Amino acid sequence: MPINNVTALAFSPAGVNHRWRPAPVVRLSVWWHVAGLIALVALPSWWPWILGALAANHVVLILAVMWPRGNWLGPNLVRLPAAAAARAEICLTFDDGPDPQVTPQVLDLLDRYHAKASFFCIGKKAAAFPATVTEIARRGHSVENHSYGHSFAFALYGMAGLRREIESTQAIIAGITGRTPRFFRAPAGFRSVLLDPVLGKCGMRYVSWTRRGYDAVHRDPAQVLWRLAGGLAAGDVLVLHDGANARTRTGEAVVLAVLPALLDQLAARGLKAVSLPTACGETYTAGSAS
């Protein structure tokens, strides 16, 4: 199936792609640049001030890109909907996988606690380890889109590059699981100014997080657990990593050392771990991407 056909499938309950509406900061930036060009033609001697104003606008856009939990560049799912919070639901999300060694162990721990999660998979890793992706879906978790190559320059890509990264991953995951992802998270959470129209065309929602433990870089499980569980409440979206994980001093993936204690805390607080589609009330059937 061509990639464009895959991404044109129904992602919303109504079966219609989301219509992109530029965020206020984006609209303001466009008008700011138009006004700057007009002023430069009308008042060329003011060029230092005009260029300075345009540079200031670019600083604002850079700050927006570097603010993972912000919504200046468009809607951003930082917490679950109020209905999910009322049901005492939280969402565990796992980034940068699949990993053929670590991911199956994460799945076993989730099964032990009857917990569900969402796995934001890198497209090229999903293509390399399709059996692991299949197992994630088989056990009732959702597989979502985390770009194809996970480049830290992702936020600097042009529109065509963003489309290739997202649409190719959509096609890969849909081909493996029979379900096309509905949620996207940018590498490192750095969100491109040009990303939202691509997500709108694909009918996808952007997701960041409520809290993250930095288990990809910190080797101390206690510190990671404190970051995730301190102030934990219904409706939170948590980020861990089943790929690119840091290792404890004994060589164990930090996520595997943290996850049992975290799941124990969820149970003690009466919180239920569910996938993002479940929390957001979205339903679909396997094979809908065919």
Q: Which CATH superfamily is domain 82-279 in?
A: Glycoside hydrolase/deacetylase (3.20.20.370)
CB 154 within 8 A of CB 186: yes
Predicted TM-score of the model (pTM): 0.83
Phi, psi of 258 (to 5 degrees): -85, -40
Domain range annotation of the chain: 24-65, 82-279
Q: How does pLDDT run across 42-101, given as a tens digit for each residue?
A: 888 877 876 776 777 666 656 766 789 988 888 999 999 999 999 999 999 999 999 999
Residue 288, pLDDT score: 36
What integer pLDDT is reported at residue 2 of this predicted model?
34
Mean pLDDT by 10 residues, the chain (290 residues): 32 45 66 69 78 69 76 92 98 98 98 98 98 98 98 93 97 98 96 92 96 95 96 97 92 97 97 98 48
Q: What is the pLDDT of residue 36?
A: 66
- Rounded to whole angstroms, how far apart are CA atoms 169 and 63? 27
Segment 213-216 long-range contacts (CB within 8 Å, at least 24 positions apart) = 213/238, 213/239, 213/240, 213/258, 215/240, 215/241, 215/245, 215/246, 215/254, 215/255, 215/258, 216/95, 216/96, 216/241, 216/244, 216/245, 216/246
Q: Can you give the pLDDT at residue 224? A: 97
